[in-house]
Amino acid sequence: MKRTDLILRSMMFVPGHNKKLLESASKSNADALILDMEDSVMPQYNKEIARNLTCECINDGMFRNFRVFPRINDIESGYLLKDIQALTIKGVDGFVYPKSLRGSDIHFIDKLLETVEYEKKLEIGTFKIIPLIETASAVYNAQEICMASNRVIALTFGCEDFVADLEGIHDPDGNSLFVPRALIAMAARATGVLPIDTVHINVHNLQELRKNLSLARSLGFEGQLALHPKEIDIIHEYYTPTKNEVDDAIQMIKLYYEAEKDGKGAVVKDNKFIGPPMLRAAKKVIKRKSRIKS
């Protein structure tokens, strides 16, 4: 699994101890499922139920059409090792690691996975890591976190924990989240991993979801965490190149190379200059569209 080959437009959370929701998620069209062992699995005696039920569903092939990334518990929880030992199985692509504070946290998870892979006679590097940024310090350490392991394939943002840590306010216009979202997207892009935006808390306000998605795309995000299947189609709409975008990209590439062949130093389309940066962007649009199956 190469970072550049991944399509993670939607990553939907599903409580690992809730069989009804697990079955519902298996019928969704999300690109990836985050089978949760952490915050949504309470009280704590449900942690073991979540591990066992999730493994059972995976082994039964319930999620064979999805990328699967369980959200494991953090280092301080006392459940991390049990989660990893149970869930390093076929059908799991990697793990969402919560409360990622610094690069050393990810390095630790990397080495723990390496040990388990070795013991289970699996190829080293089989399981990937998706850090979840949830604190002010983690935002500042985001680039370090991305660079801590070659297993890191994406970077995600947990807005509610961040706002609580910041002692700020999750205002209706999202002003308190603009800077951390921008910094997380930049850290991910700077290190070649996929930036995945935070959940949309008001799951029934789909107009607000569209507003957030429009901003997220402009910030450089490539996907979003989701809480409900009703969000998926809208998320995919915003993170899938449209026919017009593809047609424009094809025309831009054609015009650029025709001008290059004719020895012209500049191309203008719709009163806009077409240069090497636009060419690279156009090629990315074509490549992304070719990797999206639906």
Instruction: Give the span between the Cα atoms of 174 and 270, in whole angstroms.
Output: 33
* Residue 130 sits in the same domain as residue 225: yes
Q: Render pLDDT for 143-198 as a digit per residue (tens, 0 to 9).
A: 999 999 999 999 999 999 999 999 998 887 788 899 999 999 999 999 999 999 99
* Residue 145 sits in the same domain as residue 18: yes
Q: What is the pTM of this model?
A: 0.93
* Residue 122 sits in the same domain as residue 258: no
Helix (H) or strand (E) holding 220: none
Q: How many domains does one find in the chain?
A: 2
* Residue 262 sits in the same domain as residue 180: no
| pLDDT(77) > 80 | yes
Q: Tell me what percent of the residues of the chain surpass a pLDDT of 70.
A: 96
Q: What is the average per-residue pLDDT within 38-46?
A: 87
* Residue 8 sits in the same domain as residue 146: yes
| pLDDT(230) > 70 | yes
* Residue 248 sits in the same domain as residue 233: no
* CATH number of the CATH domain containing 100: 3.20.20.60
Rounded CA Rg of the chain: 20
| pLDDT(219) > 70 | yes
- Its domain, for residue 265, covers 243-291
* Residue 23 sits in the same domain as residue 134: yes
* Residue 116 sits in the same domain as residue 257: no
| pLDDT(1) > 60 | no
Q: Is 102 exposed, middle or buried (0-12, 13-18, 19+ CB in 10 A)?
A: middle
| pLDDT(2) > 60 | no
- The CB density around residue 181, as the number of other CB atoms within 10 Å, is 24
Q: Render pLDDT for 264-277 as a digit per residue (tens, 0 to 9).
A: 666 776 767 778 88
| pLDDT(52) > 90 | yes
* Residue 156 sits in the same domain as residue 177: yes
Instruction: Give the span between the Cα atoms of 204 and 200, in whole angstroms.
Output: 9
Q: What per-residue confidence (pLDDT) applies to 176?
A: 87
CA angle 31, 23, 65 (to 5 degrees): 35
Q: What per-residue confidence (pLDDT) applies to 275?
A: 80
Instruction: Give the span between the Cα atoms of 212 and 206, in whole angstroms.
Output: 10
Q: What is the average per-residue pLDDT within 107-116?
A: 98
Beta-strand (E) ranges in the chain? 10-15, 32-36, 67-68, 94-97, 128-133, 154-157, 194-197, 223-226, 267-269, 272-274
* Residue 182 sits in the same domain as residue 248: no
Q: What per-residue confidence (pLDDT) applies to 170?
A: 83
* Residue 259 sits in the same domain as residue 194: no
Q: What per-residue confidence (pLDDT) applies to 99?
A: 94
Average pLDDT across the chain, whole number: 92
pLDDT range class, residue 3, cuts 50, 70, 90:
low
* Residue 189 sits in the same domain as residue 265: no
CA neighbours within 13 Å on the CB side: how many for 52?
Answer: 5
